[in-house]
Structure 1
């Protein structure tokens, strides 16, 4: 291969590797360091700037007895923050959190911290199913808030939810931080393993491009 051909190969390889890294490196960091996700309160209930796309679900939650708490932001390394909006039902001992997912589609999940420090999570979108001591996570895709709540409450059978006084805005932020730093790590790693693999492939492409040029 002549010099121009070698240079073109290196440039093309670097462009491909750059694209792969831009899409996946942050996921690799999240895989190895899930506890680095920052969760900060954003606005109390009376100041929440709820997106219009989430308003129908918010209305259904309030009809079920949930009360708005406030919004918070979750920010992984090298990524912008995702804003979430939370309601609580202290009687059922459940947090309900809304946010916009891929393609700005509404997403809802229910979260109950346990007195033991564990969690039960039920989402209306695809989510890994896990059933571990002190931790249950799963989904009921496209379920209405009412149906999701019934399923979530059933999944609490035999477990000890946190006391009703824990279901506050501050309690939700604390629960989110504890999830990322503790029992949520396994789920995060399952979700982001592909990012690690693509990051490794990108780094291998870079190494191969330079080693191939040197050998040539």
Structure 2
């Protein structure tokens, strides 16, 4: 009986470890290789398939002077691509990006590339606050309206020199640059727990097989 109980515990532990690897391996890869996320154009402005949930925010953006650019997809390894919908305000030199959160709630963030190779990002949902003087500023103003978010973003641009091409191509390029450059620290912070869970699960699997070989 004891042997059966021990076997059952071992099998349950192994199954749990495999599930943890399945759920977290992509996060571990993202932590180790943040620049591996593919950012690709999806559809131009006149072909954007905008979800109904994003319609009210899109209307508010256009009332503020933003013009639609198109949509793009971001795909980490081992995960499905997520789709984002992009606008630009060339006069204010700001990109606006809408997407759906994990709970299908509307999300908006504003992005401005700044010289020489930096970014200012202001999100309308919780986002880590990161400050690299003269290079990078990332933060949030939770549940702010698009108008309030824009005002806050323009204030946060003070001291920076906006740059970039405010077209659909320019927005896709900005996304690629963020993943391959200054966004790496933020990505690693977000996915550290996934790396730790993956390492722990792989250790359980390895110990199970090594224990079997030793016995």
Shorter-chain TM range is: over 0.9
* Alignment partner, residue 28 of structure 2: 28
Deviation at 1:148, TM superposition (A): 0.6
* Alignment partner, residue 53 of structure 1: 53
SS at 2:162 equivalent: coil
Are 2:152 and 1:151 aligned? yes
Query: Counterparts of 2:10 and 2:172 in 1: how far apart (Å)?
Result: 46
CA offsets, 1:58-81, max 9 Å, x none? 011001110000000000000000
More off after superposition, 206-215 vs 64-73: 206-215
Deviation at 1:210, TM superposition (A): 3.1
Count of aligned residue pairs for this structure pair: 214
SS at 1:103 equivalent: coil
Asked if the contact 1:6/1:213 (under 8 Å) is kept, the reply is no
Deviation at 1:214, TM superposition (A): 4.8
* Alignment partner, residue 98 of structure 1: 98
- Correspondence list, 1:67-216, <5 A: 67-133=67-133, 134-162=135-163, 166-214=165-213
Query: Counterparts of 1:114 and 1:130 in 2: how far apart (Å)?
Result: 15
Superposed CA RMSD in Å reads: 1.4
Structure 2: segments with no counterpart, 5+ residues: none
Asked if the contact 2:18/2:205 (under 8 Å) is kept, the reply is no
CA offsets, 1:137-196, max 9 Å, x none? 001111111111111100100100015xx1000000000000000011011111111111
More off after superposition, 59-68 vs 13-22: 13-22
CA offsets, 1:112-133, max 9 Å, x none? 0013110001101111100003
Query: Counterparts of 1:4 and 1:185 in 2: how far apart (Å)?
Result: 47
Structure 1: segments with no counterpart, 5+ residues: none
SS at 2:103 equivalent: helix
More off after superposition, 11-20 vs 32-41: 11-20
Asked if the contact 1:10/1:210 (under 8 Å) is kept, the reply is no
Query: Counterparts of 1:23 and 1:110 in 2: how far apart (Å)?
Result: 30
Asked if the contact 1:10/1:213 (under 8 Å) is kept, the reply is no
Asked if the contact 1:9/1:209 (under 8 Å) is kept, the reply is no
SS at 1:83 equivalent: strand
Deviation at 1:215, TM superposition (A): 5.3
